[in-house]
Amino acid sequence: MNDLRELYQEVILDHSRNPRHFREMPEANRHADGHNPLCGDRVTVYLHLAGDVIEDVSFKGAGCSISTASASMMADALRGKSVDEVRALFDRFHDLVTSDPSHAADQLDASSELGKLAVFSGVCEFPMRVKCASLPWHTMKAALEGAARASTE
Amino acid sequence: MSAQPDSIRTPEALDVAAVRREFPLLQTTVHGKPLVYLDSAASAQKPQVVIDAERDVYERYYSNIHRGVHQLSVLATDAYERARARVQHFLGAREAREILFVRGATEAINLVAQTYGRRNVGAGDEVLITGLEHHSNIVPWQMLCEEKGATLKVAPIDDAGVVDMAAFEGLLGPRTRIVSVSHVSNALGTINPVERMTERAHAAGAVIVIDGAQAAPHLAIDVERIGCDFYAFSGHKVYGPSGVGALYGRAALLEAMPPWQGGGDMISSVTFEKSTWAELPHKFEAGTPNVAGTIALAVAIEWLEGLGLEAVAAHEDELLAYGTELLSAIPGLRLVGTAPDKAGVLSFVLDGVHPHDIGTILDYEGVAIRTGHHCAQPVMDRYGIPATARASLACFNTREDLDALARGIGKVQEMFK
Ligand SMILES: Cc1ncc(COP(=O)(O)O)c(C=O)c1O
């Protein structure tokens, strides 16, 4: 069960049970729908952008614990960040969940700047779950770039 | 799906321990736990005889077929055609030329849609399917209907996952050209009343295609008794290799149908002005097929028949009854698909846990199941769920496998409580 606990960390389970920022956002000026056709996960990410800064983030949808927790913690992390900071964070997070588990050093590198999001470091050991963790992020990026849709395929 | 008490078991009851020993992969471990394989509806594992059969072809007599006068080609052609006869008997077809080798059920259905369908379906016509079809028995018909300006009709299912036969009959009409139904549903396990559906389809003047991908490993099939026009199945679900399967078609229909793919083997003569088609079944078998795989498929079928199709069905029915009871007793678990007539499938959802998480945690216990929409999104939509967890049964499964599943579900619930 040890390895499993690396994936299902308490923080992740907590966010999946009680997702934060889980609501529609009528005042959003960007949003996009994400879909993982493999497992049926769906998420809509809403952004309220004021100039260059993300004033508010929220999401709706139905997904597994990993994608729900990822969306919830992403929303926590993005509030108040500038678009450039968000882009950098996207890259870091992407590196974290897709890194080769045998290169622990790369991971450490990535996780040091990720703060709480580093709890997703266990995901890279579970290739079938990488898309679950990254779906909300891809969807957020699509919203930022004005695309209507993101897919993990 | 009645459970058979031990006292009335026939002496021919399946010796499951012996069957299990024939599967190399069942002797392995996953994450340090003995493998419990409950995903045969996606694809079955292979017994040693099938693995050996394919190697034997390559080691002793491999060559192209229908093409050479040399000894190897004669041997390979002969084995290939014997494989056709084996499939003919497996399906209860009258003639070997009614059996076409294809890549699998998907290709078989596409073949019917692209040949019989394109020739016989026109604007304003209708194709009827049911609400529990696999995507491979939906999309080829959608493509055909779109091309021809025809309409795809869908007979709905009830909460248990049973096709509403009154609605089915109501949807049959003078414009129905093709009916295409699964024999057994992959997502829910429902067994369709294919004989009655065939009779109704014929009464309406339509032909009927039966997708037997999930039926072939579980039920004895007799296309003559069913009376159907086409029957499709995949080798990999009957313990054979992947990438090979068969389509049965009534000879008179196949003869009237145009070929599908053009190429070598399917012609009788070719000039730049005009080609003429080979006789059945070669008209539909363009190009070099999966020679070794097809021969190994026949070995798989022979092996399955050797176990006794009735003994296999009785064993799987007993397991299904046991598993249904076991899972139903778990608080917060809901079985999806509870038709009285079912084969081989336990689809379920758990309160508060997404199927994907169930799959990952069970995998850590060595238990392989499938999670997702099972290529049947309309079925998921019918139940208003994005996905299910699905345990599916094969001849090599045991009550202990289902006990391991139940224990694993207990761990899932503990993690997510
Ligand atoms: C009911 C049903 N029909 C068709 C198919 C398609 O079979 P294949 O992928 O082997 O072509 C499957 C396999 O998943 C199935 O379960």
Q: Which CATH number fits domain B16-30+308-415: 3.30.360.10, 3.90.1150.10, 3.30.70.270, 3.40.50.300?
A: 3.90.1150.10
If you average pLDDT over residues B277-289, what whole number do you get?
94
**B contacts of A41 (beta carbons < 8 Å):** 356, 386
The response to whether residue B106 sits with its C-beta less than 6 Å from ligand 1 reads yes
Q: Report the mean per-residue pLDDT for chain A.
A: 88
Mutate to test the pocket of ligand 1, among B39, B134, B370 (most ligand atoms within 8 A of CB): B134
Tokens of B256: 């009237």
Write out the two tokens for B42.
Answer: 């996606």
What is the phi/psi pair of residue A46, to 5°? -110, 135
For chain A, residues with pLDDT lower than 70 are 1-2, 103-112, 147-153
B250 pLDDT higher than 70? yes
Q: What is the pLDDT of residue A105?
A: 58
Q: Spell out where A72-151 has E strands.
A: 149-151
Could you please state the CATH topology (level 3) that the domain comprising B51-306 is classified under.
Aspartate Aminotransferase; domain 2 (3.40.640)
Comparing B397 with B5, the larger pLDDT belongs to B397
Q: What's the DSSP call for residue B157?
A: B
pLDDT in tens, B39-82: 999 999 999 999 999 999 999 999 999 888 899 999 999 999 99
Catalytic annotation present for B375: yes
User: Rounded to the nearest whole angstrom, what is the distance from the C-alpha of residue B49 to the centroid of ligand 1?
Assistant: 24
CATH number at residue A124: 3.90.1010.10
Whether chain B has a CB inside 8 Å of the CB on A4: the answer is yes
* Domain span holding position A104: 2-151
The total number of structural domains in chain A stands at: 1
Cα separation, B72 vs B52, in Å, equals 19
Nearest alpha carbon, ligand 1 atom 12 = B213
Per-residue pLDDT tens digits for B373-413: 899 999 999 999 989 999 999 999 999 999 999 999 999 99
For residue B111, the CA-to-ligand 1 centroid distance in Å is: 14
Range 15-74 of A in CB contact (< 8 A) with B: 17, 38-42, 62-66, 68
Task: Verify whether the Cβ–Cβ distance B353 to A65 is below 8 Å.
Answer: yes
- Residues of chain A found within 8 Å of residue B411, distances taken between Cβ atoms: 1
Residue ranges, comma separated, of all CATH 3.40.640.10 domains in chain B are 51-306
Task: Tell me whether B30 touches chain A (CB under 8 Å).
Answer: no
Tokens of B173: 């009409």
Q: Scan residues 333-372 of B and list those with Cβ closer than 8 Å to A.
A: 352-357, 360-361, 364, 371-372
Residues of A in contact with B352 (CB under 8 A): 17
| Cβ atoms B304, B217 nearer than 8 A | yes
pLDDT exceeds 70 at position B149: yes
Partners of A68 on chain B (C-beta within 8 Å) are: 354
Residue B96 scores a pLDDT above 90: yes
Query: What is the distance in A from the centroid of ligand 1 to the CA of B233?
Result: 8
* Sheet strands (E) in B236-326: 245-249, 267-270, 275-277
Q: What is the pLDDT of residue A141?
A: 95
Predicted pLDDT of residue B11: 47
Q: Which residues pair with A57 in a beta bridge?
A: A47
A3 touches chain B (CB under 8 A): yes
**What pTM did the predictor assign?**
0.93
A vs B: CB pairs below 8 A: 53
* CA nearest to B154, candidates B180, B125, B122: B180
Instruction: Count CB-CB contacts under 10 A for residue A92.
Output: 17
The burial class, CB within 10 Å (0-12 / 13-18 / 19+), for A23 is: exposed
Minimum-distance ligand 1 atom for the alpha carbon of B245 = 10
Mean pLDDT of chain B: 95
Question: What is the Cα–Cα distance from A104 to A82, expressed in whole angstroms?
Answer: 29
- List every span in chain B annotated with CATH 3.90.1150.10: 16-30+308-415
The CA distances from residue B323 to B85, B328, B360, in Å, are: 36, 8, 20
- Tell me the three state secondary structure of residue B290: coil
More confident residue, B12 or B261: B261
Instruction: Report helix, strand or coil for B244.
Output: coil
The pLDDT of residue B139 is 98
